[in-house]
Structure formats: structure tokens, C-alpha cells
Amino acid sequence: MKFNNPFYELSARLVDFLPKGKRTTRRILYRLWNSYPSWDPWILKDGDIYRLFYLGGASQLVHWWMNGTIYGAISTDMKTWQDVGALLEVNPANSWESGRMLAGSAYKEDGVYYLFYSAAGKGLEIMNEGIGLATSVDGLHWERSSNRELVKPDDNHRWYGQFKRQMGYDEYDHYQWRDPYVVKDRESGKYYMFICAYLKEGGEGKYRGCVGVAVADKIGGPYELLPPAATPFVEGTKESPFYEMERPQVIYRNGKYHLFFSCWTMWLNPSWVKKVGKDKITDSTLYWYVSDRITGPYEPVSEKPIVKGSDRTGIYGTNFFPAPDNPEEFIAYGWYYRRMTLAIKPKVRVCWNNDSIEIVNLPQWQRNSNNQPVILSEVR
């Protein structure tokens, strides 16, 4: 797969300028840039370089996500990237990861690289998701630590389960267990893994999206499952506002732990949307919860807990990462879901004050007397 394909990029950009009525032309362009879809990136700072991991798929007109592979690239400035090809592909020998690769996170400790990833089987198991671990000594060649899943609840687990097909609901069984985000706690030294999961105990109906959490004394495990870190409910119900809480990320700042995640608008609970209103809610909206403890419970920062400006970035699965020119600041990155291209630009900054967060473009900032960024205008 090409990391940068000029023809693919051009066709992707043209879609945004076409009138909605030009269906035939739009359909042709969508097919062109769906030939090389790229999505769900994550980044590891490794000394003076940045290691990028992302998902890529082969040409597929409809279900592009069903054949993901983990690819990689390297950069010194987060502007120009060198493609290093496929890093981890499906493994036909392991049924649980024989169908498609999903997103994860990366860590480096004592000279060893750790790649936490998620995957699913093939055929009827395409929605049965699991989490695995691969390691490397050079960041390029990876070896799975086991042919078994690193951590997953059994069928009788108390807190986590799967969405069972029911009359009137979607026509499949979905075991949500993906997008592992691993962070080392600054106080205990333990490793916590946050997971896009499905609430079993205490939930009702289709909408049971939650963020699961597991803990380990060593980065490679074993990981012990803990109660969900975030179990949001629509007031007066036992339903979550979200069917899924994707790409969870936890950041410690200003004395608190901050949880961020994404959810497609098609998977939002209509009763919650009706209650809070559709304003500022798009596919790129980033949701924001907070807690005094790393294990939670995480609560919404407001009735409508969204990061300001995220609804207009056009980026899905947004994560934050220290800016290359100032580690005290963050950039916002993810992937442009309309173009199926990666969205990694140092100029897309996170203006994070004590009680507010806003995603802005760097040219729209200026510095005050305390050398802090000041917003000049909103993202367009």
C-alpha cells in the first residue's frame, strides 16, 4: 500500500467540491479513493522520531473495514512520512484474528516495543473482536506474544458481554472488545488498558456502549479485568447514549484523568440526541469525560460533553498527541472519514485551558504575554 498516493488524494479532495446532485461522478470518485482506504492511526514517540501505525484495506466498494491490515510509517517532524509497509497482518492460524485487524496503541519500555492491537475472525466471526499483543526490538519486525488473546471476558463474565441479535435490531451478533489504549499510571506504576466494550450487567436494550478497563503489574500482562471505567446512561433509563465508545484515550492533566472517545452519529441513542439536541453533534464530534481516579468512574464534563471545535474538523477517532514543536501542547489527529485518508497535521492544535478544551488551526492562534495560545477565530 502507498502511504501517499497523489491520484488517490486528488480524487478524495474533489468529492468535497462536487454538488450533492452529481451522484454518478461522486460514486466514481468514491470508488477510486476507496481503493486505498487508510484509517484509525496511532503514534509512538521514539527518541527523535515518530512511529505511525494505522489501518489500511484493499479495494472494496462497501465494507472497506472488513479486511484491515496494520501499516506503519516513520517521521522526524510529523509532516513528512516514510512508508515502512505492512507491520502486522491477519493470522489464518489463529481463528480469533484471521479476518481483520483493528486499532490499538503502542508503547516502548526497556528497549522493547509493544503493539497492543485488536482483531476479529472471518465469516460469521467477523464481528467477534479480541485484543492481542505483538513485540519488536526494532519497531519494524513484529512477533505475536501468543496465539491466544491477551485479555477477553469469558461468556459468563459479569460486566462485559456482546450484543445479541434480537427482533428489530441489527442482523448480527457483535462482541465489542477493541481499540486497546494502554497507559502507565504515574502513581502506582501499574499499566491500565482502556477498551471499547459492551456493558452486560446493569444495561438494557441495544445501546450499552461503555469503556472497559484492565490492569497489570507488567506491561506484557497478565491483565486483570476491572469494572467498566465509564458507564454512561440516558437519564431515567438503563441505556447508554452510545452504542459504542470508540478509540478511548485517557490523559492525566490539571489533577484529573480525562477520557476522550468517538461515536458515529448513526450509533447514538436517539433518545439522548433528542434530549441534548443535534447542535455540534457530527461524526467527528469528540466526547469528553473526567474522573479523579484512573479507573473511574468517568463522568461527562457537561450535559453535552463534547470538545469544542471537534464537530467541524471532519476527523474521526480523534486522539491527542504532544506537539512536535512544544511537548506541553497537543495536536489533534485521526482520519478524514469522507476522504478515507489519515489526518495528521501539526497545525491542528488542542487549546487546553484549566476548564475548557478547543480544537483549532495553528494559523488562527496568537500568543499572549504569558506565551499561551489565544484563539483568533473558529475552525471553518
Does some domain include residue 160?
Answer: yes
The reply to whether 2 and 110 lie within a common domain is no
Q: What is the pLDDT of residue 33?
A: 52
Known binding-site residues for substrate equal: 103, 178-179
Does some domain include residue 356?
Answer: no
For 307: left if phi > 0, alpha if psi spans -120 to 50, otherwise beta; the answer is beta
Residue 182, classed as helix, strand or coil, is: strand
Known binding-site residues for Ca(2+) equal: 173
CA distances from 37 to 11, 33, 122, 319 (A): 12, 7, 20, 19
Which H, E and C letters describe 87-146, residue by residue? EECCCCCCHHHCCEEEEEEEEEECCEEEEEEEEECCHHHCCEEEEEEEEECCCCCCEECC
Give how many domains the chain has, as a whole number.
2
The reply to whether 129 and 247 lie within a common domain is yes
Does some domain include residue 332?
Answer: no
CA distance 299 to 13: 38
* pTM confidence score: 0.88
Q: What is the pLDDT of residue 345?
A: 86
CA distance 351 to 333: 14
The reply to whether 137 and 186 lie within a common domain is yes
pLDDT tens profile 164-216 = 765 455 556 899 999 999 999 988 999 999 999 999 989 989 999 999 999 99
The reply to whether 304 and 206 lie within a common domain is yes
Does some domain include residue 374?
Answer: no
Residue 67 has a CB neighbour count (10 Å cut-off) of 20
* All cell numbers assigned to 177: 472488545
Does some domain include residue 9?
Answer: yes
The reply to whether 77 and 164 lie within a common domain is yes
Q: Which stretches of the chain drop beneath a pLDDT of 50?
A: 1-16, 18, 26, 61, 167, 365-367, 369, 371, 373-380
Known binding-site residues equal: 103, 173, 178-179
Locate cell 470508488: which residue? 31
Burial class (CB in 10 A: 0-12, 13-18, 19+), 5: middle
Does some domain include residue 335?
Answer: no
The reply to whether 17 and 77 lie within a common domain is no
Q: Which residues pair with 181 in a beta bridge?
A: 194
Residue 378's φ and ψ, nearest 5 degrees, are -85, 160
The reply to whether 15 and 44 lie within a common domain is no
What CATH code is carried by the domain that includes residue 163?
2.115.10.20
Domain span at residue 224 reads 38-325
Angle between helices 23-33 and 6-15 (to 10 degrees): 150
Does some domain include residue 249?
Answer: yes
